[in-house]
Amino acid sequence: MKIPSILVVDDEPNNFDVIETLLTEQNYQLHYAANGAGAIANLDTFSPDLILLDVMMPDIDGIEVCRQIRAMAQWQVVPIIMVTALTSKADLAACLSAGADDFISKPVNALELRARIHSMLRIKQQYDNIQSLANVQTNTIHLLESSLSELRGNLASSLSHELNTPLNGMLGMISLIKEDLETMPVEELQELIGYAEESALRLEALTKKFLIYLELELLAHRPEPTHGYLLAEPQTYFDPDIIEATLINMAKRVDRQGDLVIQLTDAVLALSDRYLNTIIKELIDNALKFSQSETKIKICSNIVDDRFVFSVHDFGRGMTDEQLHKVGAFMQFERKFYEQQGVGLGLKIVNKIVEKMKGELKITSVYNQETRVEVILPLWVDPE
């Protein structure tokens, strides 16, 4: 804890010695200035938490010094106690009018001096605490505003494209079919219908992803407990055979089933089947998207310290430290123009599910080399 700093301004060095003696058992750091000009010139050096200011001084009296200090924004809140032999109400009113917070009469009484200093420093500490809190709030607001601006920008630049691309695909195929339906060979018709179906499925998947994200956002703002709502089912069995079949089917769509290295352990999880499948799908989808064909993707699950650990390790593009810090909704990184696009919701959705389940999401990555994502989830515990 910082030791309070007190600046004593008095043209008589003996008076400083007296104050130093009176405060000798107090944990204060004392500074001395022999005149008002010296005190004002060295405020930044002394950085006082409180000023004991003598009124009767040559050149610049204490009242004028007080007035000048109060005119400086940085020192407006520092308590100033005037030390004076004056007793008239007019003189005391002049001290207060100049900006003094309190005054003490000469000769200085030790008990009174300590009490007034303690009181003023306590007020100053309260102000500092409030100011610190205000600064934290201001910084937080600025950070949120910055994040929201970035979020809006990413959303605005990606969402319309993501929705319009499959929609335009469907409309384009339908338009071609309508124009040449009577003369179009059955094989070509089937091919166009297949393209339209693929676009429709892509739009459906994107819509479901947004709905899951919005659902999790609503859950995040609901009062606890929302655990049961998130579970939707009491427990889910992580079946290695079923999960492996799902992973292989996902890889087959991009002809990469031979790239998978799968080692899975069964477990019973305190998580709904729907959210478990969402986690698996998003992590595998990212690994397939951001690694090249004929590079391995290692998928493992095991139980460590009574918690379930599911990991996906690819040897693809990787992320920089800056990109790792920016992982969030609607954030994309270095996506090439010819690659399948996305809105960057995947990891954000995974993170929200994991957070709600009191689990952990760990991401480690080496740029242009590899990325490893670990999801740590609680096991199901029978309440009985």
* Over residues 82-111, mean pLDDT: 86
* Over residues 321-325, mean pLDDT: 73
The answer to whether residue 340 sits within a structural domain is yes
Q: Is residue 186 predicted with pLDDT exceeding 50?
A: yes
* Over residues 342-370, mean pLDDT: 81
Contacts of 201 (CB under 8 A, 6+ apart): none
User: What total of structural domains would you count in the chain?
Assistant: 2
Q: Is residue 39 predicted with pLDDT exceeding 60?
A: yes
Residue where a domain terminates, one of 76, 93, 108: 108
Res 161: pLDDT? 57
Q: Is residue 26 predicted with pLDDT exceeding 80?
A: yes
Res 222: pLDDT? 57
Place of tokens 């790792």: 324
CA distances from 256 to 230, 301, 329, 336 (A): 33, 20, 27, 20
User: Within this chain, do residues 238 and 101 fall inside the same structural domain, yes or no?
Assistant: no
The answer to whether residue 218 sits within a structural domain is no
Q: CATH number for the domain including 245?
A: 3.30.565.10
pLDDT in tens, 287-298: 998 899 999 999
The answer to whether residue 126 sits within a structural domain is no
pTM for the model: 0.49
* Over residues 19-23, mean pLDDT: 91
The answer to whether residue 174 sits within a structural domain is no
Full domain range(s) for residue 265: 231-384
Integer Cα distance of 82 and 94 in angstroms: 11
Q: Helical H runs in the chain? A: 13-22, 36-41, 43-46, 62-70, 89-98, 110-180, 186-220, 227-231, 240-252, 273-289, 321-325, 346-356
Q: CATH number for the domain including 15?
A: 3.40.50.2300
The answer to whether residue 74 sits within a structural domain is yes
Residue where a domain terminates, one of 54, 74, 108: 108
pLDDT in tens, 204-263: 777 777 777 777 767 665 555 444 444 444 688 999 999 999 999 999 988 999 999 999
The mean pLDDT value of the chain amounts to: 81
Instruction: For residue 366, list its beta bridge partners.
Output: 370
Res 131: pLDDT? 79
